[in-house]
């Protein structure tokens, strides 16, 4: 263990040095990029609005595995990048009633 000997320094000077060190450490931590994708989730309503679908349809897509959801407490949340990725991986086409006329 290292020993620190303090000679010729007053308590006030020591406290000032400690305060400066703390401020420097806090400043360094604020400059580091924060992890955003871990805390970035959107609600069911936001996903339904984004995809222009109803909440029951969103529920069906989630149950069928088309979209990944995360249950946090009692809430069901989605990651925006995963929503976009799942839609680009699948080809969603609208089918018309009456079959394929003229093709």
For residue 43, the 8-state DSSP code is E
Total structural domains within the chain? 1
Which of 91, 92, 60, 58 is CA-nearest to residue 77?
58
- Residue 67 in any domain: the answer is yes
Q: Report the range out of 29-43, 68-82, 83-97 with the highest average pLDDT.
A: 68-82
Task: Report the percent of the chain where pLDDT is more than 70.
Answer: 73
- Residue 27 in any domain: the answer is no
| The model scores a pTM over 0.75 | no
**63 in Cβ contact with 56 (< 8 Å):** no
Greatest alpha-carbon pair distance for the chain in Å reads: 97
- Residue range of the domain that includes 67: 42-89
- Residue 76 in any domain: the answer is yes
Predicted local distance difference test score (pLDDT) of residue 76 = 93
Alpha carbon distance 28, 15 (integer Å):
20
- Residue 68 in any domain: the answer is yes
Predicted local distance difference test score (pLDDT) of residue 43 = 93
Residue 34 pLDDT class (50, 70, 90 cuts): very low
- Residue 73 in any domain: the answer is yes
**83 in Cβ contact with 67 (< 8 Å):** yes
Tokens for 32? Answer: 């580091």
Alpha helices, H only, 1-103: 11-31, 44-51, 55-63, 80-89
């Amino acid at each position: 263990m290292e020993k620190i000997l303090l000679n010729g320094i007053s308590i006030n000077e020591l406290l000032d040095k400690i305060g400066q060190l703390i401020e420097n450490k806090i400043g360094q931590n604020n400059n580091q990029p924060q992890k955003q994708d871990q805390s970035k989730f959107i609600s069911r309503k936001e996903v339904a609005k984004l995809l222009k679908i109803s909440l029951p349809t969103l529920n069906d897509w989630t149950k069928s595995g088309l979209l990944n959801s995360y249950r946090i407490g009692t809430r069901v949340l989605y990651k925006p990048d995963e929503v976009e990725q799942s839609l680009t991986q699948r080809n969603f086409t609208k089918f018309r009633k009456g079959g394929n006329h003229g093709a």
